[in-house]
A and B are shown apart, each in its own frame.
Chain A
């Protein structure tokens, strides 16, 4: 599997990962090589094999729907780079000069 630079840039955009020009090229080579190793899985016929997402014998673990204290808001906000009026602050997403399409 040989990835193109456009492939790498597309995946980086999906991952919201800013990459330098050099990083795009390095990752293009490295990911292509790793995918070549991973291609060995094609040797296995898995048409009738069910997938395993997790290995524990539990499904839908629920707790009683009871009120309980959460962390104090100030403690949760304490690590935020920017906060306003008890909220996390971000750039505007919609409209305005700084906005971008969602």
Chain B
């Protein structure tokens, strides 16, 4: 039965902001409602690796003071979850890995600092696949996450904790990271909005690196407007990240309105693969018809190298990861397993500190970069990456946005794909191309298949998140999906 605290838990950020501004709700009440739900539900759901009750309460008190003083920022008092790959000074940052158990960052990630400036209330560090490597959150070294819509299903990954927290009313907003779909795919599986911004739109400073040419931080929310608000708060160049691009950041939430007449939406014939779930096809086809009825012109486009994206990714991302993860060797931070020699200490520290998927990717990446294989694998993948990017460059000559499913299936069962790594990798077949090309993407709910959420993916031109968000918003407002929440009951 919906209670007052349940209503607070599912309040969109924009609505919460209005209630906070008119003093009908306090930031402390909002924080307490979420902390109570976390207390009651999260032992079962597993969204959080570290709950920050004490700091959240003091941030909420500060937010109330700021609101009372008449100087609130856009996110003042809004409860947020942070994927545990984002460095925070006031809580551990583990990246879901044993090797970073207890690690305390000496600095905040730039996005965290920006959220603090904006007055957000950080509820805690959210669960993730180890080092953001996975598509089901089952690679977390600590615990799995359960999908709030059905507990025996995965939430998707690697940002499974943030997605499930927002879906289940355990956070109003969240930040995740997306290297091959790790925001969009779990957003789709959990029935929430997830945005991967253009590469370079958001600073990666303080994001524990997985694949540096692909990683991008982005928002989770229950509405497109909320996601747009959060994106505005975190976007923009940063002197601490040389790959953050100095282009102006619009107020994304302010440009959502307006109809879709005159907009050209591309449908790529290649985004239809064997193994597509019929219920996903049906929901996505209906969403495309809805976009047309809203005034958009549908245009067929071709992205001929789509089928090569997955193989390209599974060279590029592990290669970059194998270099990035070389820093974990038990000297500067993280756990150590002592051995008689330095070399053995490195080997044992890494052998015992990393989980199976991380080892698999380090091995794959090291192999692709090793002498004799570098040209055949790493350089080959970089060349195919050029072809994938050129596909999109050509498509943008005739369309403004491309529409596709987020994933070929809905959330699968926990344990269903853990024995065959490549089956797990296939969950990202529709999301990986955007990372290879550096373009923005969003997943929004577009219905249900077998009672589980289906995600609709929209891809945009580089640095044109605004058009992509506008299309997403128009669709969202024409459908009831964003008003539907899972029945999450706990033991409280």
Contacts and interface: CB of A to CB of B under 8 A. Distances in A.
Interface of A: 7-8, 10-12, 14-20, 23, 27, 30-31, 33-35, 37-38, 40-41, 44, 46, 49-58, 61, 63, 71-72, 75-76, 78-82, 88-93, 98-100
A27 B360 contact: yes
A14 B341 CA distance: 16
A99 B341 CA distance: 7
Interface stretch (B46-54, B133-141, B379-387): B379-387
B350 A18 contact: yes
A89 B333 CA distance: 11
A92 B340 CA distance: 10
Contact of A34 (B239, B326, B387, B421): B421
A11 B341 contact: no
Interface in B275-333: 305, 307-308, 310-312, 314-315, 322, 326, 329-333
A52 B354 contact: no
Interface string B370-388: 1000000101111111110
B363 A11 contact: yes
Interface in B362-419: 362-364, 366-367, 370, 377, 379-387, 389
B55 interface: no
B94 to A, nearest CB: 12
Contacts of A99: 341
B106 interface: yes
A55 B340 contact: no
B438 interface: yes
A100 B208 CA distance: 31
Task: Kindly name the residue among A34, A71, A75 whose own CB sees the greatest number of chain B CB atoms within 10 A.
Answer: A34
7 contacts: A12-B363, A17-B362, A19-B359, A27-B360, A49-B384, A79-B332, A91-B345
B315 A98 contact: no
A23 B350 CA distance: 13
Interface residues of B, number: 67
Contact of A44 (B332, B333, B364, B387): B387
For the residues of A in contact with B, the DSSP-based class is: loop
Contact of B342 (A34, A44, A90): A90
A44 B438 contact: no
A53 B315 CA distance: 12
B332 A80 contact: yes
A23 B359 contact: yes
Nearest to A99: B341
A66 to B, nearest CB: 11
Nearest to B311: A38
Contacts of A56: 199-200, 243, 245, 438
B366 A11 contact: yes
B104 interface: yes
A93 B342 contact: yes
B376 to A, nearest CB: 9
Given A41-B311, A46-B387, A79-B106, 9 more contacts: A7-B367, A11-B367, A17-B351, A31-B363, A33-B422, A41-B381, A51-B382, A53-B382, A58-B243
Given A19-B359, A27-B363, A78 B386 contact: no
Given A90-B342, A100-B341, A15 B322 contact: yes
A18 B352 contact: yes
B248 to A, nearest CB: 15
A42 B385 CA distance: 14
B336 A81 contact: yes
B395 to A, nearest CB: 15
Contacts of A58: 200, 242-243, 245
A11 B360 CA distance: 11
B363 A17 contact: yes
Contacts of A78: 104, 106
A17 B104 CA distance: 24
B147 interface: no
Contacts of A37: 310-311, 314, 422
Contact of A51 (B308, B330, B340, B383): B383
A17 to B, nearest CB: 5
Interface in B347-361: 347-348, 350-352, 354, 356, 359-360
A78 B333 CA distance: 8
Contacts of B332: 79-80, 88
A8 B370 CA distance: 12
